[in-house]
Structure 1
Amino acid sequence: MFLTRFSLRNPAALFILTLLVAFGGIYAGAQLKMETMPDVSIPILSVISIYPGASPEDVEEQVSVPIEKAVRGLDGVKNVYANSVEGVSVVVLEYAFSKDLDEAKREVEEALANVALPDAVKPPSVSRLSFGSFPVAILTVSMPAEKAHKLAATVNESLVPALRSIPGVAAVEASGLPPKTVLIRLKPDKLKQYGFTASQVVQQLQANNLTFRWARRTWAASIIRSASGTPLPPSTNSRPSTSPFSPTRRRRWRKG
């Protein structure tokens, strides 16, 4: 009743108050920050380990299982998903949204320091999944086809380091460059002398190929789907029979 009587007796004051509220709302809305890809912290950590040449079974028994046992007892861990493929182990930890992921990452790294892994295993990499880590800028550089290798050298030696030195830039990657190739000529007499065949040399080169960056990207794109419990999609990599994602060994641990 008081507000009704006040409004009827003071229409000018009510009009001014309405204008103040309206303009205040418009000003506040204009000041709100908007981002195409806001930095949303997803409570997921991934532990990626590279075990060159190991079968999925060996990766599971010697890498994935020890890591899983070491991290599943950490504070705040809800679920642990372990995926083991040829030469690669990916262990995904799911936390509650209230968990501080910086603290969680330190705890995981401390736990991994006490895990005994085979000597051939590369140091495990612990990373967070965040929408803010997706590319925010894509640059294209071109040059005549006959200068492709010069372009690759310019990008890798000059452009990429310059972009990485910019404050606030987390990572810079170059793609689409001509691959580096090494030509190996075999001497039949030397092969015969040491008791090797050409196929054995090829197998050794393939077994010691440590270029796993494409595998890390494929797994990074599948972390959310894996943590939700849905099956991982088959690899879309164009490599026919050498894809390490077939066969795959999967494990899941749920708290409680």
Structure 2
Amino acid sequence: MIKYLIHKPVSVLMSFLAILLLAVFSIRQIAITLLPDIDIPTISIIATYPDHSAAEIEQSVMAPLRQNIQQVGSIDRLESKASDEQGRLTVHFPYGKDIDLAEKLRWSG
């Protein structure tokens, strides 16, 4: 086998180039992404309340909003943050959850 490779360098070079060309073509055809194309089931709610402190927003806006959102069901995590004149509520659902359906069930009932 080695004797054949030594005596036929053109054949070896052509085989190597053919394999290299096939590898380059194959790599260009493979779709590689760093981030997969999946929907993250998250809803963010921002409430503005001008001229009020973070404590007032937490007490009068965010607490009732959190209680209503918790009735949706199948919530993975609920994050709430209040600052001066603004509050933010982020609802995380489990992957695969249809958040459009969860939203319709909550607001229609």
Shorter-chain TM-score category? 0.5 to 0.7
State the match for 1:42 in structure 2.
40
RMSD: 2.8
Q: Is the 8 A contact 2:43 2:91 kept in 1?
A: yes
Q: Is the 8 A contact 2:72 2:103 kept in 1?
A: no
Seq. identity, %: 20
How far the C-alpha of 1:30 sits from its partner, in A, is: 4.0
Match of 1:69 among 67, 70, 74: 67
Q: Is structure 2 residue 40 aligned with structure 1 residue 57?
A: no
How far the C-alpha of 1:104 sits from its partner, in A, is: 3.7
In our comparison, the structure showing a higher alpha carbon Rg is 2
Q: Which amino acid aligns with 1:79?
A: R
Structure 2 matches for 1:1-256, cutoff 5 A? 27=26, 30-35=28-33, 38-107=36-105, 110=107
Q: Which has a greater percent of helix?
A: 2
- Count of aligned residue pairs for this structure pair: 86
State the match for 1:242 in structure 2.
none
Please give the TM-score of this superposition, normalised by the length of structure 2.
Answer: 0.61
Please give the TM-score of this superposition, normalised by the length of structure 1.
Answer: 0.29
Counterparts in 2 of 1:107 and 1:92: CA distance versus 1, 3 Å: farther
Counterparts in 2 of 1:79 and 1:55: CA distance versus 1, 3 Å: same
How far apart, CA to CA, are the structure 1 residues paired with 2:35 and 2:103?
23
Counterparts in 2 of 1:49 and 1:104: CA distance versus 1, 3 Å: same
Q: Which runs of 4+ in 1 moved over 6 A?
A: none
How far apart, CA to CA, are the structure 2 residues paired with 1:33 and 1:105?
34
How far the C-alpha of 1:62 sits from its partner, in A, is: 1.4
Instruction: Point out where structure 2 has 5 or more consecutive residues left out of the alignment.
Output: 1-21
How far apart, CA to CA, are the structure 2 residues paired with 1:107 and 1:82?
22
How far the C-alpha of 1:49 sits from its partner, in A, is: 0.8
Instruction: Point out where structure 1 has 5 or more consecutive residues left out of the alignment.
Output: 1-22, 115-256
How far apart, CA to CA, are the structure 1 residues paired with 2:30 and 2:47?
41
Aligned to 1:83, the other structure's residue is in SS state: strand
Q: Which has a greater percent of strand?
A: 2
Q: Could you give the per-residue CA deviations for residues 140-162 of structure 1, whole angstroms, max 9, x where no partner exists?
A: xxxxxxxxxxxxxxxxxxxxxxx
Q: Is the 8 A contact 2:75 2:92 kept in 1?
A: yes
How far apart, CA to CA, are the structure 1 residues paired with 2:86 and 2:101?
26
Q: Which amino acid aligns with 1:59?
A: I
